[in-house]
Amino acid sequence: MSEIHVGQTAVMQSNPPEPAQRTWPHAENGRGGLLSPSFLALVATQFFVALTDNMFRWLVVPIGSKLLDSPERAVSIGAACFIVPFLIFAALAGFLADRFSKRNVMVVCKAVEIAVLCLGVSAILMQNVYLMFIVLFLLGSQSAVFITSKLGGIPELVRPEQIATANGVINMASMAAIVIGSILGGVLYDRTGPLGLNDWWISASVLIGVSVVGFFTSLMIGPLRSANPARRFPWNPVGQTVRDIRLLWSKRPLFLAALASTFFWSLGMLSQVNIYLFANETLHVGQQRDVGILLGVLTIGIGLGAVLAGICSRGKIELGLVPLGAAGIAVASMLLAFVPGGAAGQPAGAGFYWSCCLLLALGMTAGLYDIPLQAFLQDRSPARSRGSIMAAYNFMSFAGMLAASGLFWMLSGPLGLSSRVIFFLGGLATLPATFFIIRLLPFHTARLTMRLLVGCMYRVRVEGAENVPDGGALLVANHVSWADGVLFGLACPRHPRMIAYAKYFDNPWLSWIGRLGRIIPIGATRKSMVDSIRAARLALQQGELVGIFPEGGITRTGQIGEFRPGFLSILKETNAPVVPVYLGGLWGSIFSYAGGKFFWKLPKRWRYPVSIRFGRPIHAPADVDQVRRAVEDLEDLGSERT
């Protein structure tokens, strides 16, 4: 990634290449940062929800396998009891998240969880296996309601530029809780005996105690207002779920993001259930501990990838990570088909360790893939219907997971395919999905590619990005090198439409790049200039950013040249301010005219240090000199700091 350091405050939320003026719902609620007490309480609460769910699940499933005398049946029933509620109660979860305060919904869910776990302990003492699975169903039900409010509440608890990172942190906490909960569930099972009756008070104390702690952390989540107090109760849940999905369908970008995320969860379920077969059939590891290690590595990888996605987003929703993650999923899945096999009865060998590495890579790339999609769904969902959209998304995701479970049964059972082939087919199916995503997101894919290239060549420091307003603004910068436009665009909080000479885009390849970046071309004729000014003015009126280098060319001396006055005419009939921008440190790079030539010189150093400073907006500038002085002041500011 490009190493872009941000001075003062974080870079603001990035918009796609067709940005419009944005207003954030509940901005007056005082949303804090990632270290705010409310968000930390949400992270802790989510951790304890996942921890208790998995502890109870992996305590009662082995008990159920003994009582039913069928491990396969117990595992299948346990999975169904936990997943089906997400489908049945999707409409109710969406209603509660919109109708009431999401914070209050989460608090009530935690209170209900305590009562349900008390019932679960009673079921173990009564040795009633069906009541155990009913309790597991109830835990899945409260989780379905909790998760919908949690997903909808994230944009109301953190600032817009931190949504992606917030999702990464919460997903990491969830994955850690899943791993720890699965391990502790097994430990409790071993400690309390095959039927859970030996020292049963230990499992009861741990389960209920952790749930009580989670209840108190939920109380520390800050107040959130109801998004739609007038929403009516969905007496027909099936019809409401259909309406929620139709609502999601009507918003094509959101539906495509939900569909792409559903693919992730479906493939994740396929990989998870296939690991059991893979461990025994290919690696020949007979111990449950080794199977747990493989599952744990995959889960930890997803959590690490989620955090990495948040870091790479750098205050933006970086959809360019989606095709990168999809490509990684495809490669890692297909490579799992070629790991060396193990020998029955022998210690874990090279194949086991290679599998751990590839499963870690699979999980990390999956996290990179899914976090931007979740952040996009949360950010772009209308506040009044965010609960319904999250409910529809959850329904699609868990329906996909059930379908993946059925697909695994068909592939491994009637079709008799090996676990190697199943992994390979999963990766193979991801390849067309990758190309489809690239086709849908060419701009974001190209932007991420440029970030990677720029990160190899430059070390960029951005200051004052908070000075760029949410609405339309004309960004005026000095021109030092051929790399200015790329660096300028990557540093901006939102994608700017750059004004550039039309002759640069006569080449078909460059013409495609110009269209992709929505460049505003300007030619030498008067008509071309008038058309360009009109296009730039319209962009400002529509709330977009427009960037221009008013010197009319790259400096030949390293000094800021005279500004041509034409850019002021763009501001007519708009309320857009001018934001001065200074590009520092580029003089002397291979793309500058230092030494009397462009390109044909060796770089003085690798990862060239560059600073990009955004000044305070200038409303209705008096003349060109006022803007030029503002850019020079930014240059002087950098000189004083050095």
User: Of the segments 279-293, 351-365, 456-470, which one has the largest average pLDDT value?
Assistant: 351-365
Nearest to 600 by CA among 612, 610, 609, 592: 592
The more confident residue out of 230 and 150 is 150
pLDDT beyond 80 at 418: yes
What is the strand order of the sheet 608-614 is part of? 3-7, 458-463, 608-614, 578-584, 473-477, 545-548, 496-501, 520-522
Given pLDDT bands bounded at 50, 70 and 90, which one contains residue 285? Answer: low
Q: Which residues pair with 584 in a beta bridge?
A: 611
Buried b vs exposed e over 495-531: b needs ≥16 C-beta within 10 Å? bbbbbbebeebeeeeeeeebeebbbbbbeeeeeeeee
pLDDT beyond 50 at 78: yes
Tens of pLDDT, residue by residue over 487-534, are 888 888 888 988 887 777 777 777 787 788 788 888 777 888 888 889
Given pLDDT bands bounded at 50, 70 and 90, which one contains residue 2? Answer: very low
Assigned token pair, 498: 């750059």
Residues recorded for the chain: 642
In terms of C-beta density within 10 A (0-12 exposed, 13-18 middle, 19 or more buried), how is residue 23 classed?
Answer: exposed
DSSP 270-290: HHHHHHHHHHHHTS----HHH
Mean pLDDT of the 11-16 span: 35
pLDDT at 639: 52
DSSP 379-393: HHS-GGGHHHHHHHH
Tens of pLDDT, residue by residue over 286-308, are 555 677 788 888 888 988 988 88
What is the widest separation between alpha-carbon atoms in the chain?
A: 90
Given pLDDT bands bounded at 50, 70 and 90, which one contains residue 195? Answer: confident
pTM of the model as a whole:
0.75
